[in-house]
Every structure is written in C-alpha cells, then in structure tokens.
Amino acid sequence: GQSLEQPSEVTAVEGAIVQINCTYQTSGFYGLSWYQQHDGGAPTFLSYNALDGLEETGRFSSFLSRSDSYGYLLLQELQMKDSASYFCALNSGGYQKVTFGIGTKLQVIP
C-alpha cells in the first residue's frame, strides 16, 4: 500500500521561510504533489514533482528525492493568507491512485 508522513503542525512568522517535509512509502511511484486547503475550503493544487530536484512556482517550491522517498514544500515570504493545511499526495500504482497524507497545519503569526 501507500503511506505518507508529514508533521501535523508548523508555526512560522510572517515574511519568513518555512519547509514542510514529507516521507513516503509506495510501489509504482509516479509523482508527489502538494495541495493547500484553507479551513472550510476544498484542496487546491500547488505543485508536482515526478523527477528529482526542485520545482519553483512563485513563492512556493517543491523538492523531491526519489532515492530517499522524501520531498518537501518550501514557502517563502510567508503571508498571513498562507495559514492553511498543506497535504503531500502520492500519485502511484498501476491506476495512478492519488493518496493524501494527514496534512500539516501551518499557522503564520505576525
């Protein structure tokens, strides 16, 4: 089966940088995605890594190391609106099922 681990909570200061780590176990790996979910809202796609290395999208970057079964999401120049839950998600298996982690609740403080 698939499993993912990520920290349950992170607190960071407005304007700072925060890194949210994710480790996973799976067979038939296709890629690792990141989603953001504000309280009461639906998850929205942020980033995807299929190959090793860093992908940058504005203030957000995501990194993948397939040999270490590890990835992270990097958020720079934190803003109050970045307070949300962040999920890493595995795209894996013959049918490319997408499995989510439990999520990391990020609180940005002034």
Partner 1 sequence: DTGVSQDPRHKITKRGQNVTFRCDPISEHNRLYWYRQTLGQGPEFLTYFQNEAQLEKSRLLSDRFSAERPKGSFSTLEIQRTEQGDSAMYLCASRQGEDEKLFFGSGTQLSVL
Token match 């795209």: residue?
91
Q: Binding residue for partner 1 (CB under 8 A) from 31, 65, 74, 83?
A: 31
Please provide residue 81's backbone torsions phi and psi, each rounded to the nearest 5 degrees: -70, -10
Residue with Cβ nearer partner 1 (101 or 108): 101
Of 13, 16, 102, 109, the residue at the interface with partner 1 (CB under 8 A) is: 102
Please identify, using beta-carbon distances, which residue of 95 and 110 lies nearer to partner 1.
95
Nearest CA to 59 out of 80, 78, 45, 44 is that of: 78
Options 20, 24, 82, 103; binder of partner 1; rule CB under 8 A: 103
The continuous run of DSSP H or E covering 88 comes out as strand 84-92
Q: Under 8 Å CB-to-CB from 54, ≥6 apart: which residues? A: 61, 62, 63
Amino acid letter for position 66 = R
Considering only residues 42 to 101 of the shown chain, the ones binding partner 1 according to CB under 8 A are 42-45, 48, 50, 87, 89, 91, 93, 95-101
Residues facing 22 on adjacent strands: 71
CB of 33 to partner 1, least distance (A): 6
- Residues within the interface to partner 1 (CB under 8 A): 31, 33, 35, 41-45, 48, 50, 87, 89, 91, 93, 95-103, 105
